[in-house]
Amino acid sequence: MKKQKLVVVGNGMAGIRAVEELLKLAPDLYDITVFGAEPHGNYNRILLSPVLAGEMTINDIILNPLGWYADNGIRLHVGKTVTKIDRTARKVIASDGTEEEYDRLLLATGSMPFILPIPGRDLPGVISYRDIKDTDEMIATAATHKHAVVIGGGLLGLEAANGLKLRGMDVTVVHLMPWLMERQLDKSAADMLKTSLEARGLKFLLEKQTEALIRGESGRVCALRFKDGLEIPADLVVMAAGIRPNTALAESARLYCNRGIVVNDTMQTYDPRIYAVGECVAHRGIAYGLVAPLFEQAKVCANHLANFGIARYSGSVLSTKLKVTGIDLFSAGNFMGGEGTDEIVLNDPSGGVYKKLVLKNDTLVGAVLYGDTADGAWYFQLVKDAQNIHEIRDHLMFGQNHVGDVGHAGKTLAATLPDDAQVCGCNGVCKGDIVKAIKSQGLFTLDEVRKHTKASSSCGSCTGLVEQILASTVGGAYTPADTRDKPMCGCTDHSHGVVRQTIRERHLITIPEAMRYMEWKTPNGCPSCRPALNYYLISTWPGEAKDDPQSRFINERAHANIQKDGTYSVVPRMWGGLTTPSELRAIADVADKYKVPTVKMTGGARVDLLGIKKEDLPKVWADLGAAGMVSGHAYGKSIRTVKTCVGAEHCRFGTQRSMAMGVKLEKMLFGMWSPHKVKLAVSGCPRNCAEAGIKDIGVIGVDAGYELYVAGNGGIKTEVAEFLCKVKSDEEVMEYSGAFLQLYREEGYYLERTCHYVARVGLDHVKKIVVEDATKRKELYERLLFALQDYEDPWQAAVAKPAVRREYEVIRIKEVAAEVVS
């Protein structure tokens, strides 16, 4: 049977995705010819910004190399622009005279950058930002010139500005609107984004209208003038002020166009032999410029080209993610809200976190996330599916892991996603594609899934979701990436183990020094790697490495736990759960003075003051410090509590003085920073009223001394502590416990609990060092005491001398105010 002829005009992401989908459905139906105006194979245009930033290369973003076309029998014309469609003769003609006949024609001509109609727009040094050629010119210019101006504060403009800044240029972003990315962000999120980018050295001029570009003596652009008369230097001007559907070819063929090539729900134009997909298309009056809708269109188009005739495209709900390393930003749906909608907002400027969820009639209709985007995919799916969220409304702000067992919405995201849900936006891979590849190819690892589907192989933001799908599909056969080899984050190829080892072997003591030596991909790191680096430095070189407060999480910076309404929780320490009337009186006075709405006993036998305003934190801690109380570190990756029963001091069953032992341990460990939170418990007898069996270290009194248990966890998944050894005296409890914790501090990965650390290295490894080798045990214990010897609670130190108390309050208030601004 003679094959039909399919001609594709456009070698971009949408057109070639349609071809890929068609080859899956009907691989032998067509002889396929593709025209591409660029001299390249198909590449991932949305990853041009990481190429500009120096994080990737052109080869990294090629989707289909030239060999792929030959392997699939596709005739490819590169560097040829189609200039005419002869609908009567059913053929296309390129600018060099090349002609190809068609039975079906697919137009995927994309879009054209909008160039401001101002004097000087044709000068050398004035470019758009759309393709590899533009990117190469920007990289070359950055090597020889200093001043860059990006016109447009949207998604593309900010990515271009960040890349040019990383290339060493002085960059100013000019934007006509009152805030950045006004189509994707509300003003609060945009203000935080602007603050973060300014911290990277970018400059912004908002609500500015460009009047002209000025020619320099060399003949290229040298400056930019605004309508208010202000001029700024510009060796390079990047126009990123929007795009327009490229409809010139379609219009010349008298196809109906209206803000794009008009198509129906099957992606047909008004000529039934001609289809169109991508940025050139207007569907139901909307032209889409993001990749996810274009891939949806491509799938529908392929279905009809294959003569299946059952798919329909009804439009898309959009989501946005900024591709600037170290900045987490996500928006989806109707995030601006309006009449008939409710909003749930968490706004923590100093912590760099902003979340806004827009609800209507018990459904989530939009979301904006800044700083913490881990649940973006989950929120996006709730928006797309219009799921009823009434039962989880009170927990919605805290993400998928906090909604509990509430039916469909409480399952893992991998379980709730339909097969056609897009998982990887960079490469347009749906859940069904991943599941099919896993089952048909027998895949068991993330790397195998990446190789066969391309999911998670680009920006990496979907990696967690891909791993969820892999685990849910193959069950117990899933082989997770080895944490010893898995990179810390996207900023580096090094694992936690390699980073720790390098810091120790090369005696690195600062974050910039560590990043330079280990060739970090980004200049400032990200919220994942900076806290880890900071911990590894101060735990490896105590006394030499300086703690960097700005590389800590917001709770540790604020010295309190942020709550869902933006207020804070303060928990003063009560050694071993013991307190005094004067301490209780001080807590009551603080609760009255600062109108604390909730006072609660914690599970660790301490008092929690909930609902304190951030601006009151310095004064609250000063008042508590005046009474001799110090922080309970309820917010920290540190020693939290040592829970005790009343023990032999009071209990008729007690065999050991558990309260005294608990106080000794807690005071010894005060100020100990660790990979994750650490909790201890001391029970005075085997009845174990202090629940020592589910603590990081559990101490249980027996007739002959104490039994020590390690690596317990009472969290989401309860882990029973494992028996370590028996000891005879209080001094041995402290030495063995201290040695174990120091070993954990030196070998544990950041955010790894003791139960996971012991599971990784093995209890035998721990026993060999802590129990069997007395020399190593004592060395570990001494290193712990050395690291903690100079620790002083900052609030206690400030109020030790009444004369400096007021001065300290003023200084700390200014610091907190500065954090809010930054």
Q: Kindly give the interhelix angle for 496-505 and 529-540, rounded to the nearest 10 degrees.
A: 40
Q: Are residues 509 and 594 in the same domain?
A: no
Most confident range (mean pLDDT) of 63-77, 318-332, 421-435 is 63-77
Q: How confident is the model at residue 716 (pLDDT cuts 50, 70, 90)?
A: low
DSSP string, 542-553: TTTSPP-GGGS-
Supply the mean pLDDT for the chain: 86
Question: Per-residue pLDDT averaged across 205-225, rounded?
Answer: 95
Judge whether 411 lies within some domain: no
Q: What is the number of H-type helices and E-type strands within the chain? A: 28, 38
Residue 720 tokens read as 């029973």
Strand runs labelled E in 711-772? 722-727
Token pair, residue 608, equals 């929690």
Mean pLDDT of 776-782: 94
Tens digit of each residue's pLDDT (9 = 90 or more) over 530-551: 889 999 999 999 989 988 877 8
Output 759 or 797, whichever has higher pLDDT.
759
Over residues 486-501, the mean pLDDT reads 83
Residues 200 and 227 in one domain: yes
Whether residue 544 sits in one domain with residue 602 = no
Residues facing 257 on adjacent strands? 261
DSSP SS3 for 328: coil
Residue 119 placed within a domain: no
CB atoms within 10 A of CB 517: 12
Q: Let me know if residue 593 belongs to a domain.
A: yes
Helices (DSSP H) in 53-169: which residue ranges? Answer: 58-61, 66-71, 132-142, 155-166
Q: Spell out the residues 6+ positions from residue 621 whose beta carbon is closer than 8 angstroms to its own.
A: 559, 570, 631, 795
Judge if 562 and 532 occupy the same domain.
no
Question: How much is the average pLDDT of 711-734?
Answer: 88
The closest alpha carbon to 291, from 276, 301, 279, 304, belongs to 279
Do 778 and 686 lie in one domain? The reply is: yes
| Listed range (26-35, 171-180, 472-481) with the worst mean pLDDT | 472-481
What percentage of the chain carries pLDDT values higher than 70?
90
CATH number where 799 lies: 3.90.480.10
Contact 453, 440 (CB under 8 A): no
- Looking at the structure of the chain, the number of domains it has is 5
Instruction: Please state the rounded mean pLDDT for residues 119-138.
Output: 94
Task: Record the tokens describing residue 212, joined without a space.
Answer: 């002209």
Which of 33-47, 73-87, 313-327 reaches the highest mean pLDDT?
73-87
3-state secondary structure labels for all residues of 140-170: HHHCCCCEEEEECCCHHHHHHHHHHHHCCCE
Q: Residue 689, annotated ligand binder?
A: yes
**Of 527, 552, 577, which residue is a domain's last?**
552
pLDDT for the residue 3: 92
Distances (CA, A) of 587 to 363, 600, 630, 640: 42, 11, 12, 19
Tell me if 12 sits within 8 A of 45, measured CB to CB.
yes
pLDDT at site 229: 94
On whether both 183 and 68 belong to a single domain, the answer is no
* Residue 154 and residue 56 share a domain: no
Residue 185 is part of a domain; what is its CATH number? 3.50.50.60
Q: Where are the beta strands (DSSP E) in 425-558?
A: 429-430
**Are residues 548 and 580 both part of a single domain?**
no
Contacts of 570 (CB under 8 A, 6+ apart): 560, 608, 609, 612, 617, 620, 621, 624
In the predicted structure, residue 715 carries a pLDDT above the cut 80: no
Residue 480: what pLDDT? 52
Residue with tokens 């993001």: 290
> The domain spanning residue 690 has which CATH number?
3.30.413.10
pLDDT, tens digit, 9 for 90 and up, residues 337-390: 888 899 999 888 877 889 999 999 999 999 998 888 777 877 887 888 788 888
Per-residue pLDDT band for 818 (boundaries 50, 70, 90) equals very low
Structure tokens at 635: 């917010």
pLDDT exceeding 90 applies to what percent of the chain? 52
Q: Which residue has the tokens 């020619």?
A: 215
pLDDT band at 423 (very low <50, low <70, confident <90, very high): confident
Query: How many whole angstroms separate alpha carbon 158 and alpha carbon 326?
Result: 13
Asked if residue 185 belongs to a domain, the reply is: yes
Query: Which pLDDT band, with edges at 50, 70 and 90, does 401 fall under?
Result: low
Note down the domain range covering 521: 496-552
Is residue 515, in this structure, part of any structural domain at all? yes
Task: Determine the distance from the C-alpha atom of residue 578 to the mean position of all C-alpha atoms in its chain, rounded to a whole number.
Answer: 41
Indicate if the alpha-carbon torsion angle 229, 232, 235, 240 is positive or negative: negative
Residue tagged 């290229």 (tokens) = 220
Res 447: pLDDT: 73
Kindly provide the residue ranges of all beta strands, DSSP E only, lying in 532-689, ordered along the sequence. Answer: 561-562, 568-570, 598-601, 607-612, 639-644, 678-683
Q: Which residue has the higher pLDDT, 706 or 821?
A: 706
Q: How far is CA 361 from CA 331, 341, 389, 784, in A?
A: 20, 8, 9, 56
Mean pLDDT of 620-640: 86
Q: CA torsion 566→572→575→581, rounded to 10°?
A: -140
- Both tokens of 733, joined, read 């409890």
Q: What is the C-alpha to C-alpha distance for residues 525 and 499, in angstroms, rounded to an integer?
A: 14
Is 489 annotated to bind ligand?
no
Q: Are residues 657 and 750 in the same domain?
A: yes
Say whether both 684 and 747 belong to one domain.
Answer: yes
Q: Does any domain span residue 401?
A: no
* Residue 803, pLDDT above cutoff 50: no
On the question of pLDDT at 656 being above 80, the answer is yes
Task: Answer whether residue 76 shows pLDDT above 50.
Answer: yes
Per-residue pLDDT reduced to its tens digit, 95-111:
999 999 999 999 999 99
Give the model's confidence band at 281: pLDDT under 50 very low, under 70 low, under 90 confident, else very high.
very high
Determine whether the annotation assigns residue 426 to a binding site: no
Phi, psi (degrees; rounded to nearest 5) at 487: -60, 150
Answer for the pair 719, 713: CB distance below 8 angstroms, yes or no.
Answer: yes
The verdict on residue 468 lying in a domain is no
Looking at residue 729, what is its pLDDT? 94
Q: Which of 178, 146, 173 is nearest to 158 (CA)?
A: 173
CA distances from 790 to 108, 343, 737, 744, 797 (A): 67, 47, 20, 21, 12
| Selected residue with higher pLDDT from 446 and 314 | 314
What pLDDT score does 717 carry? 65
What is the enclosing helix (H) or strand (E) of 699?
A: strand 697-702
Q: Tell me if 536 is assigned to some domain.
A: yes
Q: Are 738 and 692 in a shared domain? A: yes
d(CA 751, CA 486): 14
Report the sign of the C-alpha dihedral through residues 150, 151, 155, 158, in that order: positive
Domain boundary among 276, 305, 334: 305
685 is annotated as contributing to ligand binding: yes
Among 552, 583, 598, give the residue marking a domain's end.
552
Compute the residue count for the chain.
Answer: 822
Is pLDDT of 782 > 70? yes
User: What pLDDT, on the 0 to 100 scale, is given for residue 238?
Assistant: 97
Q: DSSP of 362-425, one letter per residue?
A: TEEEEEEEES--TTHHHHHHHHHHT-B-GGGGGGGGG-GGGS-S-GGGGS-HHHH--TTSEEET
**Quick one: 523 and 609 in the same domain?**
no
